[in-house]
Amino acid sequence: MRSKFKSRLELTGIYLVIFIMFLVIMYPLVWVLGISLSPGTSIYNASIIPKNASLEHFIWLFTDKDSHYLLWYKNTLIVAVAKTILSLIVTLAIAYAFSRYKFVGKKNGLFVLMLVKIFPVLMGMVAIYILLNLLGLLDSLVGLTLIYVGTSIPTHAFLVKGYFDTIPRDLDESAKIDGAGHFRIFFQIILPLAVPIIAVVALFNFMAPFMDFLLPSIVIRSPENYTLALGLYNYVNREFGSNFTHFAAGSILIAVPIATVFLYFQRYLISGLTAGASKT
């Protein structure tokens, strides 16, 4: 009886901790949703459960002539899709080379990947600004996309390399005996088996431009090139911080494409993260 009571007590404690964490995570989201549905423009008159809930702020984002929300959304989607595709191509190639080939500097290369992961992107902001200015890519979505791709490669390449290491090399050898070349092995054997980690990396790459404010604020200057985070911030700042209801509505809609991609790839996420981290 004591062991049964102890197990129930432990289970209750676990559920209690999970419930508290759920409240901590959900409270800001529910609060923002309540603000977005509250009439008026002031945050002080808003509440979690608005008395006169309205969709006027969401409608304003898409219909008002002063709103550039659709343009910001389009820019962010372009950057997110381009970043995802380019990052996947480069990351998969680098990870496959480090996982399957032996070459001079392989150990040093892995060390450099690990070392680069330690330093935050903020340390290179001045160098990034100067480089983009020299290349004529400052204040452009192309320059912003290239910076996103470059900064994501070290972490994701190391993660994918760990996953590739878990795929038996006997499959490669068997394919070579049957006459398959390196490209055929990569595309027809390795990639189909690596779908979980590819889904994880694709999701991480797609999410970043929607939530990042730091890089766009340094690279982008023209309002027509704003991403969502930068556009919403400058909109509220221009309005002297008094139009948070529109800001909240725009923030809620940012979650739509991220949630869609997450739901599509969710069955791969757990297996991709655990397998990729189990062996390096």
Matching residue, tokens 């704003």: 226
Q: Which amino acid is at 115?
A: L
Please write the tens of the pLDDT for every residue from 202-261. Answer: 989 999 899 888 889 889 988 899 999 898 888 777 654 567 778 888 888 888 888 888
Q: What is the 3-state secondary structure (H, E, C) of the chain?
A: CHHHHHHHHHHHHHHHHHHHHHHHHHHHHHHHHHHHHCCCCCCCCCCCCCCCCCCHHHHHHHHCCCCCHHHHHHHHHHHHHHHHHHHHHHHHHHHHHHHHCCCCCHHHHHHHHHHHHHCCHHHHHHHHHHHHHHHCCCCCHHHHHHHHHHHHHHHHHHHHHHHHHHCCHHHHHHHHHCCCCHHHHHHHHHHHHCHHHHHHHHHHHHHHHHHCCHHHHHHCCCHHHCCHHHHHHHHHHHCCCCCHHHHHHHHHHHHHHHHHHHHHHHHHHHHHHHHHHHCC
CATH class belonging to 68-278? mainly alpha
Task: Look at residue 144 and tell me whether its pLDDT is greater than 90.
Answer: yes
Contact 81, 146 (CB under 8 A): no
Across the range 48-70, mean pLDDT stands at 81
Q: What b/e readout covers 23-46, taking b as 16+ CB neighbours within 10 angstroms?
A: eeeeeeeeebbbbbbbeeeebeeb
pLDDT of residue 77: 94
Phi-psi region of 39 (alpha: psi -120 to 50; beta: other; left: phi over 0): beta
How many whole angstroms separate alpha carbon 247 and alpha carbon 32?
9
pLDDT of residue 155: 85
Angle, helices 195-211/141-166, rounded to nearest 10 degrees: 150
**Which residue in 8, 11, 54 sits closest to 33, CA to CA?**
54
Phi, psi of 61, deg, nearest 5: -60, -35
Highest average pLDDT, of 40-54, 236-250, 256-270, comes from 256-270
Q: Is this structure's pTM higher than 0.85? A: no
pLDDT of residue 129: 87
Please write the tens of the pLDDT for every residue from 66-76. Answer: 778 899 999 99
Please write the tens of the pLDDT for every residue from 175-207. Answer: 888 888 888 889 888 998 888 889 889 989 999
